[in-house]
Amino acid sequence: MTGQLYYQDIAVGDEITPLVKQPTSRQLVMWAGASGDFNPIHYDKDLALSRGLPGVIVPGQLAGCFLGQLITDWIGDGGRLKKLSLSYKGMNLPGKTLTCRGRVTKKYLEDSEHYLVCSLWVEGAAGEKTITGTAVVTLPSRG
């Protein structure tokens, strides 16, 4: 982990260090086992095609967890993720590169805690936003 981020280090508009992921079909199997999510559209290609999908698709929550990692990597051990909202807008396919991105949209103090609001998104290989979201986090304060 890199050095701890503090509330005073951040300005509205700052970009979160992007996180690049390339989910594979192996990862989808591991996710199914770890999450208990055995929805066949995530492992049965023929079934997925018959349901009008472009093929086996990456579970929304798996890509959502990538956005969670984007945040926890960035806020460090001293920060806390308080809220995470995710809207699964498009399909991510295994084997394609996903880029998790975010930007700080607001900072405020409440009950002596230091809050940031960040807008988040997952960018597919063609630059389209396949997931959009919002995170509310707290950070430690200097001094």
Residue bearing tokens 């984007």: 70
Q: Using the minimum distance from each CB to another protein, give the nearer residue, 21 or 104.
A: 21
Q: How far is the CB of 8 from another protein (least distance, A)?
A: 19
Distance separating alpha carbons of residues 38 and 84, to the nearest angstrom: 23
Closest CB to another protein among residues 61, 107 = 61
Stretch that binds another protein, among 6-14, 71-79, 104-112, 117-125 (CB under 8 A): 71-79
Tell whether residue 114 is a contact of another protein (CB under 8 A).
no
Q: What DSSP element (H or E) covers 29?
A: helix 25-35
Provide the total of helices (H) and of strands (E) in the chain, helices listed first: 3, 5
**104 contacts another protein (rule: CB under 8 A):** no
Residue 38 contacts another protein per CB under 8 A: yes
25-35 and 60-75 are packed helices; what angle lies between their axes, rounded to 10 degrees? 90
